[in-house]
A and B are shown apart, each in its own frame.
Chain A
């Protein structure tokens, strides 16, 4: 194996890879628009939103090992925060640079609120409580239209202000340096910036003292406590950091959509985000991004592709593509988990853990124990 050479090549090619990646990401909306149509640029926007959510959940589930099934609640908190503070609902139109951070902070606060009572819970029990929390938030939003109408109930909030600053609105087509940028393109670049920020923060956290403390708690909470980690605070920090990312992307979602209702924040969404994390590779940032992209693109590809493929195979549409979509999607999930149990792109450590190359460890061990007595 040439593993010894690998880091060297990685270093010398890093900038080249970086440049190519930057060009691809910058050109993506235009290429997609030209080849596949504007609808796919919109899907790319959603992919970025989901990547942010998945990276946020990755902190809680991937790093700290706390199974959270109600993560979408933080997305909802961020979205409703934006919607209530910049829409005709209350006649408020706060600037976006106040509303977005506020949404993140508020979601972070809710993260602590959820975390505090669940500190002693683990695994299945924690999953059930977080699931309940997610539902409570959704039902609250659904019913908070009486006696005082706050959230407008199941009708949701519409006419939410687009993301705008200094007279420039991302909700309409803009000219930048002579290039015409439609709204979806503008949002794509905005989301890309935020996604890069979230990736940067995740990367820094992963290799920090806090990141290691999270992983220690994931591995063995009692031992972590015996190492001098204040497990209570560090766990709450994981919940609130993850929630902050969720709240941030919730705000962006509200501005982008212009309309939100409790329906967008169902349990299915939480499960979907969890799938992105697990399927992509828990604890590995690259894997989680991959999971996010695939799980947004795959259902859309099936929606658009299932019809034509049937036409081509059988000459007619046998099964409605819409109902076939989730069936194939589920099948894909099962197959991926069977074939790659650690995720599509697991962290190097997970991969090492699941490989069988520790035979020589056993051998060396035996030698050192019994060989030394000779």
Chain B
């Protein structure tokens, strides 16, 4: 059974339809990329899944249950974590406090400490910066904070919104290495990216989103090789 199943999802901002009925699935342990240009509806999809936007129509099934009318905070409690676009870190809290906020919905205090240590092992840079204000970190480090924070709720499905945004190329490589690493640990990942090549290189499957509709879906390998994707997104 799929971990996430989306059927004919429609979302509007006022009168403007941002998603015109998309359907896709994420299987347990899978890394799925959602690629597309500006305004295709990628962020809208993730925000709707996180419960920050409300769909006009369509079904979202997560882990066998319908997410209809389930508020954002309960979705996190059920292991659906979002790393928002532009990172959305808490600038005036320390790195450690940011990570603790990620564990907000958990009440098993003993395991939280162990998970903190796991995060510091996964992101050694953050270990050095524990007591530093998150807002004073570099963009790449902030992205690490945002990812570690989302992992602190022990997600079943991690949703990443443009993790490469505004980062130096070397940093992007590091972040994607970590994404691969997290995926290998068994966490399902839904990755939204403008950088189609990078996303498809780490993903197993991909969907191409164009002005609110899924226009292509295939294995990441085939998408990377397909002429349409190459022409539209890879500039070749």
The residues of A with any CB-CB pair to B shorter than 8 Å are 209, 212-213, 215-216, 218-220, 222-231, 349-350, 352-353, 358, 361-362, 365, 368-370, 372-373
Contact = CB atoms under 8 A, between A and B. Distances in A.
The 6 closest A-B CB pairs, nearest first, are: A228-B76, A223-B88, A228-B105, A219-B90, A365-B138, A369-B170
Interface string B85-99: 000111111100100
B138 A228 contact: no
Contacts of A215: 90, 92-93, 97
B41 interface: no
Contact of B104 (A227, A349, A350, A372): A227
Nearest to B94: A349
9 contacts: A212-B97, A213-B101, A215-B92, A222-B84, A228-B72, A229-B73, A353-B133, A365-B140, A369-B140
B149 A228 contact: no
A226 B101 contact: no
Interface in B143-188: 149, 153, 168, 170-171
Q: Which one of B74, B75, B81, B93 has the highest number of Cβ atoms from chain A below 10 Å of its Cβ?
A: B93
Given A228-B104, A353-B133, A368-B125, A219 B92 contact: yes
Contact of B88 (A209, A220, A230, A358): A220
Given A220-B89, A365-B141, A369-B171, A226 B104 contact: no
A361 B153 contact: no
B137 interface: yes
Contacts of B138: 361-362, 365
Interface string B61-77: 00000000001111111
Nearest to B149: A227
A209 B89 contact: no
Interface of B: 50-52, 71-77, 81-82, 84, 88-94, 97, 100-102, 104-105, 125, 132-133, 135-138, 140-141, 149, 153, 168, 170-171
Contact of B93 (A216, A358, A368): A216
Contact of B92 (A224, A229, A353, A370): A353
Contacts of A370: 170
B198 to A, nearest CB: 17
Contact of A228 (B73, B93, B100, B133): B73
A209 B73 CA distance: 15
Given A216-B90, A350-B92, A226 B76 contact: yes
A209 B102 CA distance: 11
A212 B170 contact: no
A225 B77 CA distance: 12
Contacts, number: 99
B52 A353 contact: no
B50 A226 contact: yes
A224 B82 CA distance: 11
Contacts of B102: 227
Given A365-B140, A368-B125, A373-B170, A230 B90 contact: no
Contacts of B72: 225-226, 228
Contacts of A224: 90, 101
A349 B97 CA distance: 12
A229 B102 CA distance: 10
A227 B89 contact: no
A227 B148 CA distance: 12
Contact of B101 (A216, A352, A353): A216
A353 to B, nearest CB: 6
Given A361-B132, A361-B138, 12 more contacts: A212-B97, A223-B89, A225-B51, A225-B73, A226-B82, A227-B105, A228-B73, A228-B76, A229-B101, A231-B73, A353-B91, A353-B135
B88 A222 contact: yes
A218 B125 CA distance: 26
B48 to A, nearest CB: 12
Given A220-B88, A222-B84, A226-B52, A212 B136 contact: no
A218 B149 CA distance: 17
A226 B170 contact: no
A349 B90 contact: no
Contacts of B73: 225, 228-231
Contacts of B88: 220, 222-223, 226
Contacts of B74: 228
Contacts of A361: 132, 136-138
Contacts of B94: 349
